[in-house]
Structure 1
Amino acid sequence: MASYLVTGSSRGIGHELVRQLAAKPASEVSTIFATSRSVNAPLQELADQHPGRFVLVPIDVTDQDSIKKAVETVESVVGDNGLDVLINNAGSANPTRSDLNDTFNVNVTGPHVMIQAFLPLLRKGATKRILNISSSVGSIAKQPVYRELPAPSYKITKAALNMMTVLYSQELADEGFTVFCVSPGWLKTDAANAHADLPVGTGVEGVLGMVRSSGVEANGKFLNIHVPGWENNPGLNQYDGKELPWYGLMYGSSVY
């Protein structure tokens, strides 16, 4: 029985994460803290369907005051049991070059501040898992594959998020934490991504499966979801459940 906190839960991947978590039995998922800058109708509907177990918490990951207030709210619910799983999902994917600072604040500084703020509660939790939602386009090694995709600030910040994940995994390893990042795949989250590879439910199911099954052996790793039949897809993306080679440039068969 674990408690989860998910950022950016009002839409897309974040909303599907909290929806699937709420569908799990209480014996598996005790409390879901669904955080977002504002509450929309689908999020409120989930809260109404799962009173007491599904907790709406206002958070803007670029606003440290809102995060501080959120910690107080979560602590008032979990008490000495602490928080088991933190999923840093909130992100920005604006494809322009001029927004690098804003994108960095959401995609990198936001998760960093969230981890720092919730670490005392996570230390009290039984599971001690921190998952950062990343993307395969943040892999330096795979940039020859994704060269034509026009999202420089997104790529840069996801690469930085991967490095931040490794640093926290090293810092917290002796305390029994598992800190890792997962690429959920290119998902059909909205009309703009209607031609994406996978339904959002498929990607999120893969992510949550990794949260449940991954122990300390996943600490510091950048993982890909597994979707049967997509292991050797000839297109841009493959979903083989393995580590993504994020740290070097690929020349031929070598990684430098």
Structure 2
Amino acid sequence: MSSWAIVGAARGIGSANPSNTVVALIRSQATAGPLNELAAKRNNIKVIETDISSVDKLKETAESISKVTLGKLDVLIYNAYSAGTDEGKLLPPTAFHGKEDLFKREIDETASLSVNLFQAVNTVNTLLPLIEKGQQKKIIYISSGIGDIPTTRATEMPNLVGYAISKAAGNLVMAKYAAELKAKGILTLSLSPGWVETDAAREISNSPEAFQWMLSSFQKMDPRVKGMISMEESVSAQLSVIDSLGEKLSGAFVSHRGNDRDWF
């Protein structure tokens, strides 16, 4: 039986094989209703409330995980993220002219970079001793095709600036981890879940006009895209990629289909 820790399990696609021991890390019980219901039905799921913005709290969380997983961790999935500030996430770069303070907040530690990069690195570093003792030794960073330069050029999406920049930064640091930790047998991967029908995705495309704009943008790259995919389809595809992760792919950034093309 493998041991998994999922950071940001209360939202999005946090899930794993029910035969595994799964530690679900959440920010608040206020949003964890469905997750707690699932945990009540499965004795292999342990829900832990934590604050990944605090290194001290992360250290306490590592100790709690260790008690559940007997001192080891096979797979770490970092699924926490920030899409940016409400005022800035839909703005293109030129719209920040005269709004330099907003641009800084959109990018720096108060918004996207805080969760998508700084807290990701702190989480990985704190849990690394457990991963080193695991069998699979896999670190998965849930990213987005929005943070891919060829995809940005193809879709011609000028907004979500902070989100895209921070995800691109996260992708790069995962490649750095792969290079550093290769000798220890630790594998890393930046993995896009696709355009998934989650609460967060619906918030971004919260009107028919916004949805159509996003759909049209994605279809510029892939005319086959018809809309969002289900969480079940996304999770199944991602688990297949994670299961097949080997040294050759370590450090890469791929879609839920395991390539650098089928992002949606």
Aligned to 1:243: 260
Moved over 6 A (4+): none
Match of 1:88 among 78, 89, 93: 78
Contact 1:92 1:107 in 2 (8 A): yes
Higher strand share: 1
Structure 1: how far apart are the matches of 2:13 and 2:54? 21
Aligned to 2:233: 202
Alpha-carbon distance, 1:187 to partner: 0.9
Contact 1:221 1:243 in 2 (8 A): no
Aligned to 2:106: 99
Q: What are the superposed Cα offsets for residues 133-158 of structure 1, whole Å, 9 maximum, x if unpaired?
A: 11111112332123324200000001
Alpha-carbon distance, 1:7 to partner: 0.7
Does residue 21 of the first structure (1) align with residue 17 of the second (2)?
A: yes
TM (normalized to structure 2)?
0.78
Aligned residues: 219
Aligned to 2:7: 7
Aligned to 1:250: none
Contact 1:139 1:244 in 2 (8 A): no
**What is the one-letter code of the residue matched to 1:212?**
D
Structure 2: how far apart are the matches of 1:136 and 1:44? 30
Instruction: Compute the RMSD of aligned alpha carbons.
Output: 1.9
Aligned to 1:41: 33
TM (normalized to structure 1)?
0.80
Match of 2:181 among 146, 154, 172: 172
Does residue 110 of the first structure (1) align with residue 119 of the second (2)?
A: yes
Contact 1:134 1:158 in 2 (8 A): yes
Structure 2: how far apart are the matches of 1:38 and 1:143? 33
Q: Which segments of 5 or more consecutive residues in structure 2 lack a partner in the other structure?
A: 91-102, 212-226
Change (3 A) 1:244 1:118: farther
Aligned to 1:224: 255
Contact 1:33 1:55 in 2 (8 A): yes
Alpha-carbon distance, 1:61 to partner: 2.0
Alpha-carbon distance, 1:244 to partner: 5.7
- Sequence identity of aligned pairs in percent? 31
Aligned to 2:54: 63
